[in-house]
Amino acid sequence: MNALNTWLVIIGLTAVTVATRSFFLVLGDRIPLPLRVQHALRYAPACALVALVAPEVLLEQGQLSLTLGNLKLLAGALAIGVMLVSRSMIVTMAVGMAAFTALRLL
C-alpha cells in the first residue's frame, strides 16, 4: 500500500469515527431513542468491561481454564467478592492486584 492509500484510509476511518461518535451529540433530542433502547444502553459500559476482562481472566494460552491453577481467576473471584462487600472500585482493584501478585509470588 502506498502513502496515498494509507492517508485515505486514515482520513476515512477518522470520518467514520467522528460521525458515529458525534451522532448522539449532534442530533440530541431531535431524534428521541425509544425507552427500551435507553435502558439497554445503560448496560453498555458494564458489557464492554466484561468483554475486555473476561478473556484475560478465563483463558490461559488460548484455552478455557476454570481450575484452581488459574491465578487470575482466583484473584478475580476475590476481587468480585470485595466489590460485592465494599462497593469501592479502588479497594477492589487494589485487593485484586495484591491477590494476583501474592499468588504469583507463592
Task: For residue range 84-102, list pLDDT tens digits in order.
Answer: 999 999 999 999 999 999 9
For residues 79 and 73, give the distance between their C-alpha atoms in angstroms, rounded to a whole number.
10
pTM of this prediction exceeds 0.85: no
Provide φ and ψ at 59, rounded to 5°: -110, 140
For residues 26 and 28, give the distance between their C-alpha atoms in angstroms, rounded to a whole number.
6
Asked if residue 79 lies in contact with residue 96, where contact means CB atoms within 8 angstroms, the answer is: yes
Amino acid present at 93: M
- What does the pLDDT look like over 26-60, one tens digit per residue? 887 788 888 999 899 899 999 999 999 999 999 99
Name the residue with cell 460521525: 19
